[in-house]
């Protein structure tokens, strides 16, 4: 009787070969974006000014967000850089970008003329200086990077891999 199961290892598909590298690029790219965003929001007064310009929250809540957002971005960037809790870090990064998009769309819909404050700055600007479309498109790309990492978290140079945390 012959065994119908083929025990010979199969060569990885093209996707199985390139996916980890795409995930690595997305993971490190999103981490770099978050680090840049966090660093350019200091001193905290800049971040607070940017959050208050959206006119979405009471002053005290806007101040709390202004103080904590850069720290949150740095913590998330660190997780992505290390490749720790990669699936969750990617998902949180994607959700954060969707929240940023919602804020920008809200400002645009209400006719506000503000700088998004994404990379420092923020506050009122001349109506011709607004770049909502560019900011939204950029954040959509960043959200896609986070979603890619959340869906396909396996990547080289990740602590998740070393610790055996991939499922």
The pLDDT value recorded for residue 159 is 95
Structure tokens at 32: 């770099």
> Phi and psi (nearest 5°) for 126?
-65, 140
Answer for the pair 115, 49: CB distance below 8 angstroms, yes or no.
no
Global pTM value = 0.88
CB contact set of 9 (below 8 Å; sequence gap of 6+) = none
Answer for the pair 118, 37: CB distance below 8 angstroms, yes or no.
yes
Task: Judge whether 7 lies within some domain.
Answer: no
Task: Judge whether 6 lies within some domain.
Answer: no
Task: Judge whether 167 lies within some domain.
Answer: no
Structure tokens at 105: 């769309």
- The sign of the dihedral angle between the CA atoms of 105, 106, 111, 113 is negative
Task: Judge whether 8 lies within some domain.
Answer: no
Task: Judge whether 120 lies within some domain.
Answer: yes
Q: What is the DSSP letter of 30?
A: H
The pLDDT value recorded for residue 4 is 61
Residue found under tokens 């002053």: 59
Per-residue confidence in pLDDT tens, the chain, 167 aa: 555 666 778 888 998 899 999 999 999 999 999 999 999 988 888 899 999 999 999 999 999 999 999 999 999 999 999 999 999 999 999 999 999 999 999 999 999 889 888 888 777 777 777 889 999 999 999 999 999 999 999 999 999 988 988 75
Task: Judge whether 46 lies within some domain.
Answer: yes
- Greatest distance between any 2 Cα atoms in the chain: 82
Domain count of the fold of the chain: 1
**Segments forming the whole domain that contains residue 112:** 33-161
The pLDDT value recorded for residue 3 is 56
Task: Judge whether 9 lies within some domain.
Answer: no
Task: Judge whether 99 lies within some domain.
Answer: yes
Task: Decide: residue 56, CB within 10 A, 0-12 exposed, 13-18 middle, 19+ buried.
Answer: middle
Query: How far apart, in Å, are the Cα atoms of 157 and each of 56, 80, 150?
Result: 40, 11, 16
């Amino acid at each position: 009787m012959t065994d119908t199961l083929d025990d010979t290892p199969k060569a990885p598909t093209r996707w199985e070969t390139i996916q980890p590298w795409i995930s690595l690029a997305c993971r490190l790219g999103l981490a770099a974006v978050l680090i840049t965003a966090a660093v350019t929001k200091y001193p905290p007064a800049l971040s607070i000014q940017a959050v208050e310009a959206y006119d979405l929250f009471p002053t005290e809540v806007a101040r709390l967000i202004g103080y904590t957002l850069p720290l949150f971005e740095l913590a998330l960037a660190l997780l992505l850089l290390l490749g720790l809790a990669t699936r969750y870090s990617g998902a949180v990064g994607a959700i954060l970008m969707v929240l940023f998009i919602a804020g920008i769309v809200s400002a645009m819909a209400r006719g506000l003329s503000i700088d998004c404050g994404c990379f420092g700055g923020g506050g009122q600007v001349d109506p011709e200086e607004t770049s909502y479309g560019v900011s939204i498109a950029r954040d959509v790309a960043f959200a896609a990077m986070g979603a890619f990492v959340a869906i396909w978290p396996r990547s080289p140079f990740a602590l998740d891999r070393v610790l055996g945390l991939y499922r």
